[in-house]
Structures are given as structure tokens and as C-alpha cells.
Structure 1
Amino acid sequence: MTLRTARRSSLVDQVIDQLKGEIVAGAWAVGDKIPPEPVLSETLGVGRNTVREAVRALTHAGLLECRQGDGTYVRATSELSGAMRRRLRTAEILEILEVRRALEAEAARLAAARRTDADVAAIRRAQACCEEALASRDRTAFVEADLAFHTAVVEATHNRVMIDLYGDFREALRAGITASLDLLEHGDIEVPHSPIADAVVAGDAEGAERATHTCLEAVFRFLSGLPSG
């Protein structure tokens, strides 16, 4: 860890900033259990009440989750991500897919115009992982591969705001994708990533946007009960 002794007057704010810094830097990943209160108190050189207030504030912000009798776990990497996770818990799957489609379609369009050789390589690697997960029918692996693929496309936009926004949305989206796959378990649904990758690599912005819509359309039709024609 990179925690350091707090020295200025606003100790609670300093501790909040340092704990948040550890989360953002990845020292504590989402799902990880953070050190207990006495350890944090000693490491930071502050009282346990100060640590307790900081943890309470980050819990309220949605970054941490206190589990009675177990400890405190990282729940999200930012306030926005935490807020979206709370909202998506009550959102309909179709609502989540609508937002996802809007973000990913625009990202694919921009990526086709801005991708670099390094971006192309990352997209192709992620595409291969998706195909491998589909072939093995490993749903858990597919969720992660699918997110990694679309993240690679988003990163190819080189739009920092979109990248950060999708990063926050991605954490909350994982549960939605898993829920969709649970419902689709007995359906014959194809999730075609190769047309998106091919269009982005070819610099075809309209084709990339169109392929992204198509990628989710079968899932939309299945979940909404619309006819496939």
C-alpha cells in the first residue's frame, strides 16, 4: 500500500482522499476486503474514530460496503460508479441495454476514425477471447470477455470522458450482462463481435456503429418478445 501518515488539520478528509486513492489506483479492487479499522488507524497515524468516519463517508458515497461481522469491501471505484450500481440494481434489463447500446455504438463510430495499431491489436485480442468463451460455453468467461472487447473499442476512441464514463458504467453493467445471460441460457442467441472489430479496423465508422447495434439486437428481440422479422 502507499498510505502515508496524515498531517494536516482536516484528518477525515485526508483519510477519505487516501482511501479513495488506494481504490482508484487498484491497490484494493472491487470486491476486495480493505484492512480492518485498527490496521488503517495505525498505518495512517490517526485515531480509529477518524478512520470510522472516513469509511462511513465512503460507504455513503457507494465506494465501500460494510458487512456486519465480516468487514468492509470495495464496492465501486468512484461516486458515479457507486450511484450507477445502485440505480442499475432496480433498472429493467432492457433499460440497461438501451444505455449500453447508445454508448457502445457511438464508441465504435469514433474508434473507426481514431484507432491506432495498438488499439487494433487490443481489439483483435479481445475478439479472440470472446470467440473462445462462446465456443466453450463458459458464461462467466464470456461476460468478462464481452466487457473487455467493448472496453477495447471505447479506449480506441481516445476520448477521455467517454473512457472514464464507460469505465464507471462497466462495473455496474457486469451484473446486467450476467442477468441477461441467465435469461438467454436456453435461447439460441448469437453475439457477433467480429463485424464490429472488422469495421473498426477498416475505418468504417457507419459500419462499426451499425454492427454494434446488430450485436445487441438479437438480445433485445429475445428479451422484449418482439418478432425476429
Structure 2
Amino acid sequence: MNISSKKSFSKVSHRKLVDEVLERLQEKIFSDEYAIGDRLPTEPQLMEELGVGRSTLRESIKILVHAGILEVRQGQGTRIVSLSMVQDSFEKRLQDANIDNVYEARNMLDKEVAMLAAKRRNEEDLLLLKGYLNKRKNALYEGSYLEYIDADIQFHLSIAKASKNQVLLDLYQSFVPVLRHILTQLILNTNNYQDNSVIHEKLFQAILNQNAEEAQTYAIQNLELK
């Protein structure tokens, strides 16, 4: 079955385009009309039906690919691989973990690396953190969500690196797949997504000022906005 045989997508209004396209695609995909294995219309068809450009459409498709909902294969187009908002392609342990347990574990990890980073960071660490912070802010403003997610993850990994504890860095890196999934789900839920750029900036300033207590405080506040 091909989605192109179904009712056409309606035109996108002048809201933030990526958000609107994500919403329209999800409405169509998660309707009762379609099944796993169905293919989306071709890229030119979708661009015409949604009334958007190639870059906006591809950004939206990639977000849904990261969420485990769509799959893009060269020469075979884009097809639906899941009709669930819960991705089933995590590494086994994180795949089965309760989300509250994940947040509890990350809470402990983020507090520790933030505290150590504030004490041990050097100038190179600060340059990396500031660079990723700026990329994160600019990507979110422009609606480039994949770049935003990557920059956010790299910002937190750089804090772990600044802790100068290789074991903690390795632990943090093991969380990257589930962090990417969580951020993707937050982006998909555009109505409830909260921009926490201010907290990230305060976290950076605490590390810059070598204030370990404030660094831990803002690390915790960041996780509370979920």
C-alpha cells in the first residue's frame, strides 16, 4: 500500500515550518488508514502537497527517522517502520529501562560531572562548551532540530569531558542513544516542548566561574524540564 493513494496532505500554514510539517506527517502516519511497511509519497509529491521546500521536508523526515518511525532506503523511498511513538531500537538495557529510572540515573550522573567540571575545567573545555552552546541556540532558533539535538548532546558530553574522569565520560557516552531518543520525542511533541536555553547558559556560567554548587543546581533544573 502506498500513502500516495490516500487523501492528500493539506497545505502548511505560515507557522514554524518544521514544527507544522512534523505535526502533519504524524497525523497522517498515525491515522488508522496506514500500516507498517507503507511508503510515503515521493519527495517532490510531499513538497507539493505540503507546500514546503526540500530542506524543510528533509529535516522533518530525519526527525521521524531518528524517532524510529520512518526508514529511508536508497532507491526504495521512505517507508513506515513503526506506528508507535516508543522507539524499539535502543541498545538492549536502555531499550527496556523505565524512563523514570533513566532520568534518575542521569540526574546522578549530570550532578557529578557538572560539579567536577566546575572544579577541573580548562580554557579548552570552556571554548568547546561555549561553541556548542551557541550552535544549540542558533539551531533551535532556525528550526534545524537535528543540529540542535546534536549540539545539545555534545554540550553535555563536553561537560563530562571537562570532569577529567574517563569513567564518567564513558558512562555519559553510553547514554547518548537514549538521550537522542528523548530529545527527539520532546521535539515531536511540539505543543509541550520547553526551551531551556536559559538554564544551559546558567550552567555554563557556573562552570566558567568554577561554582560547583550552582553547576549542580542548574544540571538538576535542566532535567526537571522534561
Which band: TM-score by shorter chain?
A: 0.5 to 0.7
Counterpart position of 1:131: 137
Q: 1:139 to 1:92 in 2, by over 3 A?
A: farther
Q: 1:181 to 1:95 in 2, by over 3 A?
A: farther
Is the contact made by 2:186 and 2:193 (CA closer than 8 Å) also made in structure 1?
no
Q: 1:106 deviation in Å?
A: 1.2
Identity %: 28
Mapping of 1:44-63 within 5 angstroms?
A: none
Q: 1:155 deviation in Å?
A: 0.3
Aligned AA for 2:187?
A: L
Q: State the SS of the aligned residue for 2:221.
A: helix
Q: 1:88 to 1:210 in 2, by over 3 A?
A: same
Mapping of 1:43-192 within 5 angstroms?
A: 85-183=91-189, 185-191=190-196, 192=199
Confirm whether residue 212 of structure 1 aligns to residue 219 of structure 2.
yes
Q: 1:154 to 1:200 in 2, by over 3 A?
A: same
Is the contact made by 1:93 and 1:176 (CA closer than 8 Å) also made in structure 2?
no
Q: 1:165 to 1:100 in 2, by over 3 A?
A: same
Q: 1:121 to 1:195 in 2, by over 3 A?
A: same
TM-score, scaled relative to structure 2: 0.56
Larger Rg: 1
Q: State the SS of the aligned residue for 1:189.
A: coil
Aligned AA for 1:205?
A: A
Q: 1:156 to 1:165 in 2, by over 3 A?
A: same
Aligned AA for 1:190?
A: D
Q: State the SS of the aligned residue for 1:186.
A: coil
Supply the RMSD in Å over aligned alpha carbons.
2.2
Is the contact made by 1:109 and 1:206 (CA closer than 8 Å) also made in structure 2?
yes
Q: 1:143 to 1:86 in 2, by over 3 A?
A: same
Q: 1:173 to 1:218 in 2, by over 3 A?
A: closer
Is the contact made by 1:93 and 1:180 (CA closer than 8 Å) also made in structure 2?
no
Number of equivalences: 137
Is the contact made by 1:108 and 1:200 (CA closer than 8 Å) also made in structure 2?
yes
Structure richer in helix, relative to its length: 1
1 CA distance for matches of 2:176 and 2:185?
Answer: 14
TM-score, scaled relative to structure 1: 0.55
Is the contact made by 1:115 and 1:156 (CA closer than 8 Å) also made in structure 2?
yes
Q: 1:105 deviation in Å?
A: 1.8
Aligned AA for 1:143?
A: I
2 CA distance for matches of 1:92 and 1:122?
Answer: 32
2 CA distance for matches of 1:145 and 1:202?
Answer: 22
Q: 1:111 to 1:180 in 2, by over 3 A?
A: same
1 CA distance for matches of 2:105 and 2:194?
Answer: 20
Q: Which moved more, 1:209-218 or 1:95-104?
A: 95-104
Q: 1:131 deviation in Å?
A: 0.8
2 CA distance for matches of 1:103 and 1:168?
Answer: 12
Counterpart position of 1:202: 209
Which consecutive residues of structure 2, in runs of 5 or more, have no partner in the other structure? Answer: 1-89
Q: 1:164 deviation in Å?
A: 1.3
Q: 1:188 deviation in Å?
A: 4.9
Aligned AA for 2:171?
A: L
Is the contact made by 2:187 and 2:193 (CA closer than 8 Å) also made in structure 1?
no
